[in-house]
Amino acid sequence: MVKIMTQLMTEDGIRCDGRRLDELRNISIKVGVLKNADGSAYIEFGKNKILAGVFGPRDVHPKHMANPDSGILRCRYHMSPFSVTERKNPAPSRREIEISKVIKEALQPAVILKDYPRTVIDVFIEVLQADGGSRCAALDAAAVALADAGIPMRDLVSACAAGKVADRIVLDVNNEEDQEGQADMPVALMPNMGNITLLQLDGILKPEEFKTCMQTALVGCKRVYEVQRKALMEKYFQNGEQ
Ligand code: ADP
């Protein structure tokens, strides 16, 4: 099969989807979309389409997983078979198991679990369409769904990736850039407290590039936070204002 390489960037820094180096894809978030969940959110992050549902606090099954001193958080990130161009096996892949783990670890510092001993808060994430950066978009929806469920939180969690494409540092890596670029670095931030709760790097960056990439991702996280905040305001304050 002949693989046609996409031109990732023009000379003047315009990316394959028409964005500038520091431009996010369009993001929209809708809160409270699932009637059976305690909290939920639907996010469109570029072409990513992801649903997050939160259930709990509720009894833990199996019981031996319960913690008598605190609630526990469980996360499942799942890609639907039709979410990518070739059918994805619906059974959980190593990648989905890894992403479920990092999403849980990225959310956990923000969630106050000590008031809910012996219970679990389940976060289910269904990726309906994936287009690069789905773990960040999933985290963004999950954090909003937790807030929608009324779970006490220290802060929201806002995630966005930055990366290196055609030797330039770019914000919010899309699928082509992820596949053919030089580095992809997803970052999650508790935007008001300043804690970084997720940092992964696929690729190689020089120390200076790493610093720029981190600053770029953090700017992206703060912009994502504004969208998350607005989405929650829209549901809980009729005119969307405080
Ligand atoms: P992320 O979605 O967080 O960037 P990866 O870097 O692992 O995670 O994946 C990048 C992109 O590759 C995904 O968003 C998706 O578009 C695509 N992808 C992931 N898994 C598959 C798969 N099994 N088949 C086809 N495409 C996939």
CB of residue 96 inside a 6 A radius of ligand 1 = no
Strands in 39-45's sheet, in edge-to-edge order, are 27-31, 39-45, 48-59, 119-129, 72-79
Query: Do residues 48 and 133 lie in contact, with contact meaning Cβ atoms separated by under 8 Å?
Result: yes
**pLDDT (0 to 100) of residue 83:** 98
**Mutation test residue for ligand 1: of 93, 170, 178, 200, the one with most atoms within 8 Å of CB:** 178
pLDDT at site 5: 63
Model pTM score: 0.96
The 10 Å Cβ neighbour count of residue 110 is: 22
Question: Is residue 216 within 6 Å of ligand 1 at its C-beta?
Answer: no
Question: What does the alpha-carbon distance between residue 109 and residue 15 come to, in Å, rounded to a whole number?
Answer: 35
pLDDT at 220: 98
The secondary element (H helix, E strand) that includes residue 186 is: strand 183-190
- Smallest CA separation from ligand 1 atom 5, residue: 132
Question: So what's the pLDDT on residue 68?
Answer: 96
Using a 6 Å cutoff on CB, does residue 223 contact ligand 1?
no
Q: Which residue's CA is the nearest one to ligand 1's atom 1?
A: 133
Tell me the CA end-to-end span of the chain in Å, nearest whole number.
55
Q: What is the mean pLDDT of each run of 10 residues along the chain (242 residues)?
A: 73 96 98 98 98 97 94 98 97 97 98 96 98 98 98 98 98 96 98 98 98 98 98 84 54
* Cα(174)–Cα(155) distance, integer angstroms: 27
Nearest CA to ligand 1 atom 16: 131
pLDDT at 239: 58
Residue 173 alpha carbon, nearest atom of ligand 1: 4
**So what's the pLDDT on residue 225?**
98
| 3-state secondary structure string across 88-142 | CCCCCCHHHHHHHHHHHHHHHHHECCCCCCCEEEEEEEEEEECCCCHHHHHHHHH
Instruction: Please give the domain boundaries of the chain with CATH numbers for all domains.
Output: 2-236 (3.30.230.70)
52 Cβ neighbours under 8 A, 6+ residues apart: 40, 41, 42, 43, 123, 124, 125, 126, 138, 141, 142, 144, 145
Closest ligand 1 atom number to CA of residue 133: 4
Nearest CA to ligand 1 atom 27: 84
For residue 134, how far is its CA from the centre of ligand 1 (angstroms)?
7
Q: What is the pLDDT of residue 23?
A: 98
Q: What are phi and psi of 14, to 5 degrees?
A: -95, 130
